A and B are shown apart, each in its own frame.
Chain A
Amino acid sequence: MNKLFRFSFITMLMITVLASCSKDDDVNVIEPVAATINANFGEEFDNKSIENIEVKLESVGGTDSYTANTTTEGKASFDAVNPGTYNVKATIQFTKEKYEEFFGIPTSEDVVNFSGVVEGVSINLDVNEHTVSLKTSRIGNLLFKQIFYAGSSLFDGAGFRDMFFEIYNNSNEVIYADNLYFGQVYGRTTTSVKEYTLANGQFDWSKSIGQTKGAGSNTNYTYADHVFKIPGTGNQYPINPGESIVVAATAINHKEPLVVGDQTYSVNDPSLTVDLSGADFEINMVNYLNSIGKTPLDSDVDNPAVPNLDVVFHTNAKDLILDPLGRDSFIIFSTDEIESFDKLPTPQTTEIVEGTKRYIQIPNSAIIDGVETNKPDPTSRSPRRLDTSVDGGVASVPLGHYSSQAIIRKVAKTFGDRKVLQDTNNSENDFEVVNVPVPGAWK
């Protein structure tokens, strides 16, 4: 009996011990876990991040809250987080200098706040890593990427027929090109000082007949002689971040402009000019000029596959003709009230008669980007047309008119595939020269 009693006692003891040794996974027992939250600025920025982003975990329906800062790789580590459902909040505040250095986009704010929220994430033993993207208001905007105004050789190239400009989405969001306005800025070309000019020889628009903007007429407004508008209902023509649209004076392959039957005719030296047959938009004034009873330009041909820009305002051009010497300046702007913009004569006009030419007055606050161009030789330049708040410098091509050279913006930063172009509002620093531009491509 003793032997049987001893055997069952040990067995029961073992079972008891074993049973009490086993872990109890009952919901009433909670243990904290380690979690990692990745905070970065999103795919458009190639998922780059920075240190010291404050990441907060706030439990949903509970009172738990944890805070940690990211490393330079953007990882915020939490050592002990009670498993549960949380809202992740990430914030960071950039100073102006840090922001511009990181993103390559200038800002006029002193501080820029980023924040990102992901709601209802589970943190437990199995799922302990999440990502949150931080955003602020759109970073970057549309700007001029490339402007080809000098034209190519008059005898061997395409003269002034191959001019184009390229508008680039320098931001991290899709921007629609619909209803974007492009303007050619008007100004005086000599530096002589008269009673109707400023000290640098440029028109003193505050003296124009009908001017209502007083002392700010020169600094707060820009005067254009030609304005074109990209058509669209509002979301017909998206430009993805890092992509661009090309607007051509004539959207054909200028290297081989004539295809008759199965014969192709090229210009004398095709390497001097460009292929604009893939342009996104074209400026063709034939119908517009015919409708106002003027004769169109013979070389303004139409590529039926490329949509044409609307002609909004013009003084005397017959196509998109940029001054090959560079004495234009260019702006893109956006507005809903273009009809209300004043149209004023130059201050040189002392009497308004029927034939007086007028120029449309555009507030600088509507301007998205402006580029000032001029002749390469600084001693023979005409006075600047854009106020320094729009463009503080001057871009030019060293070989001058009909040289096939164009200006293209420098690259400030690269986020994966997406390039961010330099825009310090100074075209002298922001642009460089390319010998023969390639529309839509890089140097």
Chain B
Amino acid sequence: MKAKISFSIFFFFIVINSFGQFRGKVLDNETKQPLRDVLVKDQGSLRWTVTNENGYFEFPVKVYPITFKFHLLGKVDVIKTYKSLPKENIIYLKEDNLKIDEVVVTAKRSKKSTGSNIVLEKQAIELVQAQSLADVMQLIPGKSISESNLHERQILTLRTAIFDEGQANNTDKGLGASNNPYLINNSFGVGYVIDGVPINNNVSLSGGRGSYLGIFNNATANNSVGMGLDLKNLSLENIESIDIVQGISSAKYGDHNTGLIKINKAHGHTPFRFSSTLRGGSIGASLSKGVSLGENTGFLNLGLDYLKSDSDPRNSISNFDRINFSSSWFKQEKGKYRNTLSFSYGQHLNADNSVANSISDRRKKVDNNRFRISNNHKRYYKNSFVNELEALVSLDYSINKTFNSVRKNNGGEPVLNSYTEGTYEATYTPVAFRAHENIENKPFSFFTKIEASKVFSLNETKFKISLGGTFGIDKNFGRGNFNEADQKLLGNSSSSGGSAFRNVNFNDIVPADKKISTYLTTNIKSTLFGKLWASELGLRYDNYNKIGTFSPRFNTTLKFNNQFKARFGFGLFAKSPALQTLFPGEVYYDYVLADYRTNQYSFALAHTFVREYENPDIKPSKTIKYETGFDYNHEYFHASVTGYFNKQYDGFTNQSTFEIAELPVYEYTFYEDRKPDYVQTGTTPTVLRYSKPTNALNSKNLGLELLIGTRKIKAINTRFSLSGSYRYTNTFSDLDGYVFSEESDSEAFIGVHKATPNTYETINSSITATHHISSIGLVITLTAEQFWMSNYRSSSYNVNPFAYYDRDLNYFEIPESERGNDKYIPIRRSASSAGGVNSNRSKIFANYHLKLAKEFDNGLRVSFYAVNFLNHLPKLEEVNSDGTISIRELNRPISFGGSITYKF
């Protein structure tokens, strides 16, 4: 009896325990072999487990229905909902290749999100055959397709209608590199997160401040200081998926106000993958592998990629090779923790180029090294107050050295290099010599985050609350602009009011920038009037440059039925200024007063003004966003429409400030055989101008986005996807414009004018047809883009100023009745476009692209793409401002490339 009681108690326990246990087995669909380390995740909570070496897993379940997601790297995810405990459950996972039923090559509406998020999955990314992340970003609906230029910056902008000429004519190569300040603000406001670690471009500095950017004019097409991240520098290896949030991102992420790009890397076992892409003058090769280190030691994912870039065969000055190495060690203990330790290193090679011909002799050397190390630890607690704790630490350090040298023959120029104010006799450069420029940037970023989450249910409502805090330090340790001891100084050209160039040490001048944030987010899943309702609320506090901002975020979705879902979101976003704008220090203004040369002497007299520049009170740039939309899911197609309205204010720009300084005037007595004597006879006023960083740009953006995709139509093995967007942007600046009088004796010296708003409107669409024959693993993609409208309007403005400065810089307001007086003619604005400019590209045109991919049974995949494969180059006639007519070619000519991928 005792034995029986024990046995029944024992049996009872077993039954009780087994009553809650969900058991299952995961097998490979092709080989029917068990799959280990498959992640089995409960979609409604934070709980997860993994399969063992027999493919077997157990999961305690109390409440039904329950939805599980089965995920293994290299296989297609399976999401299954169980209404009750099944007896024995076998799940088959299919290989993620071109032989599966559905291949998606376009961006998809993210199912997880409550907003308009888009996800680019691995297949779509691989079929782009990208050599840089910039190519992948072209999958975002609304972006036009072209080959990215590896020698110019590739900067992403989101949800803006602003276009420059290249974009209106679709002749840009890759992501636009415009200098429009609103586009710069938009791109700077895009945040990037790689595996939870934010990456930014806040810390690099250019060689000068104010408006003068160095001898070699560092405002080149490759300079991305103060702009968004240059995408060509990011590694493409081991990317599992990319989430693109153009709308309201979670309060967990800050320091962005345009949108967020989340790159999720792959962790787990992967076969060897070798891939090589060829395009134009560039060859890329990459190798990656994910290997299991043993039962309890986790996975090691390694990736190596090499790029040899030769974008312009006529001119090798900017050629470079680049290697990137990335590795991550991923370890998890079932139900307890997941830890990812990542390390990556990238370097430029062979970037020492010289070009010498009969009229120029240049040398350029670029050294670029980048280290990144981060650790992300997530710990799970079953029955305690905190369910999940995440700790993230990351370090990012780059060394960028640019060396430029050019042969100069100016017959000797005065060297203006004084660091103190006053008049001096300047030395000269040699008659013919090599001029050098060195710039060293060493941006360093440290970032750490701690987050605690709890999941609980109240009645029928599920809550997930997260509380977190982040801390970051940015500093640039670089030497800045400097000259080696044996390098001759350049003779600087004298300024006519603009600030002049001096060597500046970044490390000494620019202090470290600290950022502190904390956030609280709540995810709610419930029902409202019988419909499924999900929301995410969040509040974030950021402290950037000692200024605090609160950012509320809110996203909600209401699922009316299985087909129809409506969503709405609202949020406030703040973006910290770049280190470049917090640059204190001195500004120099140089003047050559005299340069007399005879056979007996050379005499140069120069004068320098020095001004102290104060640290500006720059606020973060902010955006308020509203977004709404609905998704419709039909048996044969799905459609989603999103409307958005963004109001950006306090955008970063420069404000002209000026001061009248008295430039000494000298009278010279000349002698035959020696330098002239000089005596000051008075002064003449001169204007010193400085561009002070400030917050003054505002823009209103609104638009409508449409995304429609069909299921694969079995009869023709083809699916279609249509994306279209209407965008409207209205920009206006708070800054007044200044017009300087060119008459030396007019009383009114500087006219003050109000800035005028500009409006941009674009309509673009694109249709993609994907023809997929799964049995042979062949995918043919045909994309047709249509450019319906690119309209630019600048408002009419009054040519008369509303105020003016006299020659002593006294400010006077002009009463309205007097603004048209002749006295103010020298300070009027140009009349030629006072009536407003309305420029509408009068032609609707299209572009067509082709992509091909074929997978073979032995693991080899061959792909080919052609941008503008019909070489369709429509022509547009335009009348220029001076009356001449020019004919523009729209679209870039055909370009193509291919790639080979081998999995073994």
Q: Which residues of A contact B (CB under 8 A)?
A: 154-159, 161, 250, 252-254, 256-260, 265-268, 277, 291-295, 298-299, 301-305, 348-356, 402
Chain B interface residue count, CB cutoff 8 Å, equals 44
Interface of B is mostly: loop
Given A258-B411, A267-B409, A305-B670, 6 other A-B contacts at CB below 8 A?
A154-B358, A155-B361, A258-B412, A258-B602, A259-B598, A259-B601
Contact of B359 with A by CB under 8 A: yes
CA distance A303 to B668 in the complex (A): 13
Over the window 577-604 of chain B, the binary record of Cβ atoms lying under 8 Å from chain A Cβ atoms (1 yes, 0 no) is: 0000000000000001011111111100
How far is it, in angstroms, between the C-alpha of A159 and the C-alpha of B598 when the chains are bound? 19
By Cβ-Cβ distance, the 5 closest A-B pairs, closest first, are A351-B883, A350-B883, A258-B412, A257-B411, A252-B597
B431 touches A304 (CB 8 A): no
B429 to chain A, nearest CB (A): 9
B215 nearest CB across to chain A (Å): 13
Q: What is the CA–CA distance of A157 and B409 in the complex, to the nearest angstrom?
A: 8
**In whole Å, how far is A20's beta carbon from the nearest beta carbon of chain B?**
82
Inter-subunit contact A352/B596 (CB<8 Å): no
Q: Is B893 an interface residue (CB 8 A)?
A: no
Q: Which of B712-770 contact A (CB under 8 A)?
A: 740, 742, 744
In the complex, A354→B829 CA distance in Å?
11
Chain B residues near A349: list those with CB within 8 A: 882-884
Number of A-B contacts (CB under 8 A): 122
Q: Which residues of chain B are within 8 angstroms of A355 by Cβ–Cβ distance?
A: 832, 881-882
Q: Are A292 and B596 in contact (CB under 8 A)?
A: no
A268 & B432 in contact (Cβ 8 Å cutoff): yes
Residues of A contacting B599 in the complex (Cβ-Cβ under 8 angstroms): 252-253, 256, 259, 277
Q: Does B410 contact A (CB under 8 A)?
A: yes
What is the interface of chain B, defined by CB distance below 8 A to chain A?
358-359, 361, 407, 409-413, 427-428, 430-432, 491, 493-494, 496, 592, 594-602, 668, 670, 672, 676, 740, 742, 744, 830-832, 879, 881-885
Q: Which of B411, B668, B830 has a CB less than 8 Å from the CB of A304?
A: B668
- Residue pair A257, B597 in contact (C-beta under 8 Å): yes
**Which residues of B are found within 8 Å of A159, using beta-carbon distances?**
409, 411
Take A259-B601, A293-B742, A295-B496 as given contacts and tell me if A350 and B884 are in contact as well, using a CB distance cutoff of 8 Å: yes
Q: How far is the CB of B167 from chain A (nearest CB, A)?
A: 25
**What's the Cα separation between A265 and B427 when bound, in Å?**
13
Please name all residues of chain A whose beta carbon is closer than 8 Å to the beta carbon of B831 when the two chains form the complex: 354
On chain A, the residues within 8 Å of B494 by CB distance are 295, 298
Q: Which residues from chain A contact B883 at a C-beta distance below 8 Å?
A: 348-353, 356
For B594, what are the chain A residues with a Cβ–Cβ distance below 8 Å?
A: 302
Whether the pair A298, B596 counts as a contact (CB closer than 8 A) is no
Q: Report B-chain residues with C-beta under 8 Å of the C-beta of A353.
A: 832, 881-883
Q: Which residue of A lies closest to B594 (CB)?
A: A302
Q: A258-B411, A298-B410, A305-B670 are in contact. Are A252 and B832 (CB under 8 A)?
A: no
Q: How far is the CA of A20 from the CA of B594 in the complex (A)?
A: 95
Does the CB pair A257–B431 fall under 8 Å? yes
Q: Find chain B residues with CB under 8 A from A350 CB.
A: 879, 883-885
Complex A-B: 18 CB contacts under 8 Å:
A155-B361, A155-B409, A156-B409, A157-B409, A159-B409, A252-B597, A256-B599, A257-B431, A258-B428, A259-B598, A302-B594, A303-B596, A304-B598, A351-B883, A354-B831, A354-B832, A356-B882, A402-B359
Residues of A within 8 A of B879 (CB): 350
A302 touches B595 (CB 8 A): yes
- B830 & A354 in contact (Cβ 8 Å cutoff): yes
Q: How far is the CA of A355 from the CA of B412 in the complex (A)?
A: 34
The residue in chain B whose Cβ has the minimal distance to the Cβ of A269 is B432
Chain B residues whose C-beta falls within 8 Å of the C-beta of A354 in the assembled complex: 830-832
| Interface-centre pick from B409, B494, B831, B832 (highest chain A CB count, 10 A) | B409
Residue of A nearest to B596 (CB): A304
Q: Is the CB of A265 within 8 A of B431?
A: yes
| A155 and B407 contact, Cβ closer than 8 Å, known pairs A293-B742, A304-B670, A351-B882 | yes
A252 to B603, CA, bound (A): 13
Q: Cα distance A257–B598 when bound, in Å?
A: 8
Closest residue of chain A to B672, judged by CB? A305
In the assembled complex, how far is the CB of residue A261 from the closest CB belonging to chain B, in whole angstroms? 8
**Docked pose: A295 CA to B500 CA in angstroms:** 14
Min C-beta distance of A193 to chain B, whole Å: 16
Bound complex: CA A158 to CA B597 (Å): 15
Nearest B residue to A209 via CB reads B883
Q: Which listed residue, A154, A257, A292, A294, touches B412 by the CB 8 Å rule?
A: A257
**Once the chains are docked, how many angstroms separate the CA of A414 from the CA of B782?**
83
Given known pairs A252-B598, A349-B884, the reply for A258 and B431 (CB within 8 Å) is yes
Residue pair B431, A259 in contact (C-beta under 8 Å): no
Q: How far is the CB of A159 from chain B (nearest CB, A)?
A: 6
A292/B493 in contact, CB under 8 A: no
Q: Which residue of B lies closest to A349 (CB)?
A: B883
Contact (Cβ within 8 A) B409 A260:
no
Q: Given the complex of chains A and B, what is the CA–CA distance between A154 and B432 in angstroms?
A: 10
A402 to B594 CA separation, bound complex (whole angstroms): 28
Residues of B within 8 A of A348 (CB): 883-884
Tell me the bound Cα distance from A159 to B432 in angstroms. Answer: 11
Measured between C-beta atoms, what is the minimum distance from A7 to chain B in Å?
Answer: 94
Residue of B597, B672, B884 contacting most chain A CB atoms (<10 Å) = B597
Taken together as a complex, chains A and B put the C-alpha atoms of A356 and B883 apart, in Å, by: 9
- Chain A minimum-CB-distance residue to B407: A155
CB distance from A242 to the nearest CB of B (A): 27
State how many angstroms separate the Cβ of B692 from the closest Cβ of chain A: 23
- Choose from A259, A260, A291, A299 the contact partner of B744 (Cβ within 8 Å): A291
CA distance A406 to B207 in the complex (A): 43
B827 → chain A closest CB, angstroms:
13
CA distance A119 to B595 in the complex (A): 59
Residues of B within 8 A of A257 (CB): 411-412, 431, 597, 602
Whole-angstrom distance between the Cβ of B879 and the nearest chain A Cβ = 8
The residue from B412, B432, B491, B740 contacting A156, defined by CB atoms under 8 A apart: B432
A residues in contact with B427, CB < 8 Å:
260
Identify the closest chain B residue to A348 (Cβ). B884
Contact A303 B597 (CB under 8 A): yes
Q: Do the beta carbons of A259 and B597 come within 8 Å of each other?
A: yes
A298 cross-chain contacts in B, Cβ below 8 A: 410, 413, 491, 493-494, 592
Provide the residues of chain B in CB contact with A259, threshold 8 Å. 597-602
Contacts of B409 in A (CB 8 A): 154-159, 267-268
A348 to B886, CA, bound (A): 12
CB distance from A411 to the nearest CB of B (A): 30
Selected contact of B431 from candidates A267, A291, A295, CB within 8 Å: A267
| Chain B residues, CB < 8 A from A161 | 411
Q: Nearest Cβ in chain A — how far from B192, in angstroms?
A: 41
Q: How far is the CB of A163 from chain B (nearest CB, A)?
A: 13
Min CB gap B681→A, angstroms = 16
CB neighbours of A265 from chain B (8 A): 412, 428, 430-431
Closest chain-A Cβ to B440's Cβ sits at a distance in Å of 28
Q: If the complex has contacts A258-B412, A349-B884, A355-B882, are A302 and B431 also in contact, measured as CB distance less than 8 A?
A: no
Q: How many angstroms from the CA of A262 to the CA of B595 in the assembled complex? A: 17
Q: How far is the CB of A333 from chain B (nearest CB, A)?
A: 29
Could you tell me the distance in whole angstroms from the C-beta of A319 to the nearest C-beta in chain B? 12
A305 near B432: Cβ-Cβ < 8 Å:
no
What residues of chain B lie closer than 8 Å to A295, measured between beta carbons?
493-494, 496
Q: Are B742 and A303 in contact (CB under 8 A)?
A: no
- Least CB distance from A416 to B in Å reads 33
Q: Kindly list chain A residues whose C-beta atoms are within 8 Å of the C-beta of B491.
A: 298
- Interface contact B742-A292, CB-CB below 8 Å: yes
Give the docked Cα–Cα distance between A301 and B744 (Å): 24
Which residue on A lies nearest to B684, using beta carbons? A290
How far in angstroms is the closest Cβ of chain B from A308? Answer: 12
Task: Looking at the assembled complex, report how far the CB atom of A358 sits from the nearest CB atom of chain B, in whole angstroms.
Answer: 12
CA distance A348 to B491 in the complex (A): 40
- Closest beta carbon of chain A to B104's beta carbon, Å: 51
Q: Is B595 a contact partner of A301 (Cβ separation < 8 A)?
A: yes
Closest chain A residue to B495, Cβ basis: A295
Report how far A252 CA is from B431 CA in the complex, Å.
Answer: 13
Q: Is the CB of A260 within 8 A of B428?
A: yes
Cα distance A254–B410 in the bound complex, in angstroms:
11
